[in-house]
Amino acid sequence: MNVLIASRAGGNDLRAIPSVIPNHLGGHDALASGGRTFTKIDPATGRAICQVARSTATDVQVAVEMAKKAQPAWAATTVVKRGDILRQLALLMRDRRTAIAELVAQETGKSRKDALGETDAAIEMGFFVAGEGRRFYGQTTTSAVPNKAAMVVRQPLGVAGLIIAANTPIANVAWKAFPALLCGNAAIMKAAEDTPLSAWAFGVLAREAGVPDGVYTTLHGLGEEAGAPLVEHPDVAVISFTGSCEVGRWIAETAGRRLAKTCLELGGKNPLIVCDDADLQNAVTWTLGSAFSNAGQRCAAGSRIIVFDVVYNKFKQLLVDAVGKLKVGTSDTDDYGPVINQGQMDAMLAAVERARAAGAVVLTGGHRLSGDAYGGGYFVAPTIIEQVGPNDEISRSELFGPITCLYRVESFDEAITLANDSPFGLTASIHTQSLNRAMAFIGRIQSGVAVVNGGTYGSEPHMPFGGLRQSGNGWREAGTQTLDVYSDLKTVYINHDPGKV
């Protein structure tokens, strides 16, 4: 089986998907050591796309050994040079952006347009991080002792284990791989099992850009078989993980036993507050984007829409009308595509059923979309639910699908209290014309990102992203803050003697 990608963009390597997506190990394509594979399913059709290397602890062991061997020479190059190579990688990605976006579209079922937007964001991250090679700031300061210089510089950690989710696959790769490499680490990427294609493409281009053999590895496989051994390996100095709270908690416990550094970017249950003075049409537009774009598969999805009582009915009607016009499918004129796999779809629909059984009212959706247009794809109708309590399961657990709940509040205070009443604290948004309310919201909301008159999503490469409570463990990705994840500090004292000049 050799599936051809229709678009011909730039180089020659990304147009044909290999019948088995290989690992990228030590500069070579490699099957998993046991020769085993798993099947990658197209979420838009339910049909197989290709087989993928099913790596195990043996492959992780080989990857770590190669990474350990290659890392010192990589760390010994200047950070400016590393930035140059990463800029070259970003340029190659830009040359082949259409081909990469085709892979993203094929493996996720999202539209070419959305896949291209995500690819461009990944490329921007590359350029941003490459530029940091010429800024890699430490600190110089004073000493209490005469003729003693004091400064702080960054140093690499060694081998970085990177584990990602499938929702925005090429951006997820870029968010971790670029800064991990810039900081002088060797990096091992455990791709999400649902999105092996874009991770494979990044590895191909990294090699072409001149990232030395062994410095960047792509391993494919299932979480427990290929991800867990990376977390457990004693020579992996930092684990940077994007995914569910459940797995994040296990990673923190497991890596914590050997005191390894972990950066955990986890889930969200993000509130969007609609005040009585909001521009309701704008609030509807941003609610649609927050709740339904990317089929709601965003850690930053708006899944709790908190609306002032006096505008509740009007807002609800506008929102339901707007949802009635949403189009679900894989083309550029559709608003969103399928969810990533059958298991996720079944789980989110079961959660809606439990809420319904407990008395919730499902205003729209709540079911899988079927019929000729949808075939065997995992398409879920845009779902709005009301009459749920703040402590109900559906209010507190992340569904990671096109499903959102409406809540009615009497006042600003009640809205903030409800917004903060969550196990998560990733992003939050408020819609108001009042500067005073906006500023009070920014001050009181317990989240890593706060937005006024916009969506709960939409991060930029030069801005830090991350959350409180169960949304993470305090680190930030993107922004210059991401360099703190992948480097450690070295405090330097230099004693000198002016008498010996």
Catalytic residues: 265, 299
Q: Which residues pair with 468 in a beta bridge?
A: 425
DSSP assignment letter at 238? E
The single residue listed with the structure tokens 């569910």 is: 244
CA–CA distance, 271 with 466 (Å, rounded to integer): 15
Please check whether residue 32 is in contact with residue 20, taking contact to mean a CB–CB distance below 8 angstroms: no
Residue 261 CB, shortest distance to ligand NAD, in Å, is: 16
Cβ 467 to ligand NAD shortest distance, Å: 6
Position 244 contacts ligand NAD (CB under 6 A) = yes
- Applying CB under 6 A, the span of 59-67, 190-198, 373-381, 439-447 interacting with ligand NAD comes to 190-198
SS in 3 state form for 134-190? CCCCCEEECCCCCCEEEEEEEEECCEEEEECCCCCHHHHHHHHHHHHHHCCCEEEEE
Say if CB 320 and CB 384 are below 8 A apart: yes
Q: Which two tokens stand for residue 65?
A: 């050994």
Length of the chain: 501
Number of residues that bind ligand NAD (CB under 6 A): 26
* Shortest reach from residue 172's CB to ligand NAD, in Å: 6
Check binding of 131 to ligand NAD (CB under 6 A).
no
192 scored as a contact of ligand NAD (CB under 6 A)? yes
Of 383, 468, 487, give the one whose Cα is nearest residue 422: 468
Burial classification of residue 343, based on how many CB atoms lie within 10 Å of its CB (0-12 exposed, 13-18 middle, 19 or more buried): exposed
- Cα–Cα–Cα angle for 367, 372, 376, rounded to 5 degrees: 60
- For residues 60-94, one letter each, b for 16 or more C-beta atoms within 10 angstroms of the residue's C-beta and e for the rest, the string is bebbbebbeebbeebbeeebeebbbbbbbbbbbbb
- Give the shortest CB-433-to-ligand NAD separation in angstroms: 30
Among 22, 26, 43, 227, binds ligand NAD (CB under 6 A): 227
d(CA 498, CA 80): 32
In this chain, which of 138, 212, 223, 376 binds ligand NAD, going by CB under 6 A?
A: 223
Query: Least distance (Å) from ligand NAD to the CB of residue 175?
Result: 8
Q: Which x/- pattern over 292-311 shows residues binding ligand NAD (rule: CB under 6 A)?
A: -------x------------
Binding to ligand NAD (CB under 6 A) within 358-417 occurs at: 398, 400
Kindly tell me which of 234 and 498 has the beta carbon lying closer to ligand NAD. 234
Residue 219 near ligand NAD by CB under 6 A: no
338 is a site residue for ligand NAD (CB under 6 A): no
**C-beta closer to ligand NAD: residue 132 or 193:** 193
Residue carrying structure tokens 């000729």 = 372
Among the candidate windows 17-25, 186-194, 208-216, 435-443, which touches ligand NAD by CB under 6 A? Answer: 186-194
Q: Are strands 16-17 and 3-4 parallel, antiparallel or unpaired?
A: antiparallel
Q: Which one of residues 42, 265, 276, 335 is an interface residue with ligand NAD (CB under 6 A)?
A: 265
Is residue 413 within 8 Å of residue 460, measured between CB atoms? no
Among residues 221, 232, 171, 233, the alpha carbon closest in space to that of 192 is found at 221
> 3-state class of 24 per DSSP?
strand
For residue 56, state whether it binds ligand NAD (rule: CB under 6 A).
Answer: no
Q: Which of 266, 345, 428, 478 touches ligand NAD (CB under 6 A)? A: 266
- Range 139-168, binding ligand NAD (CB under 6 A): 163-167
Among 183, 231, 274, 478, binds ligand NAD (CB under 6 A): 231
- Kindly tell me which of 175 and 315 has the beta carbon lying closer to ligand NAD: 175
Question: What tokens were used for 142?
Answer: 């004073």
Which residues of this chain interact with ligand NAD, rule CB under 6 A?
163-167, 190, 192-193, 222-224, 227-228, 231, 242-244, 247, 250, 265-268, 299, 398, 400
